[in-house]
Amino acid sequence: MRLAAAIAVIAVALAAAVYVHQRHTWQSITPLGCSPYADRNCSTSIAQHPSWEDPAAVLIAVGGIAVAAGILTTRRPNFVKPS
């Protein structure tokens, strides 16, 4: 059961890290003196990759692996049954 939980944590963490790493945002730029209503080719869109996304993706991946390692290495408490 713990192995399945650890594998699930790693899978979710790596999927989230890949999503954050591959994500791009679009910014629309309209030059001065240009009306997007009058001229269809006036504004342009550029893809941006914000600088915080790559370190965040690494932290998500490493954190997921650390949580999975914690799940696998944690011992169950050894309770003594009262007699």
Neighbouring C-beta atoms of residue 24, cutoff 10 Å: 10
Predicted local confidence at residue 14, as pLDDT: 95
| 39-62 tens-digit pLDDT | 666 777 777 878 888 899 999 999
Q: Report yes or no: 19 and 39 within 8 Å, Cβ to Cβ.
A: no
Among 56, 53, 62, 52, which Cα is nearest to 9's?
A: 62
Rounded average pLDDT over 59-75: 93
Q: Is the pTM of this model over 0.75?
A: no
State both tokens at 54. Answer: 């790559």
- In the chain, what are the domain boundaries? 2-73
| 23-43 tens-digit pLDDT | 877 777 777 777 666 666 677
Q: Which helix (H) or strand (E) holds 28?
A: strand 25-29
Rounded average pLDDT over 58-67: 96
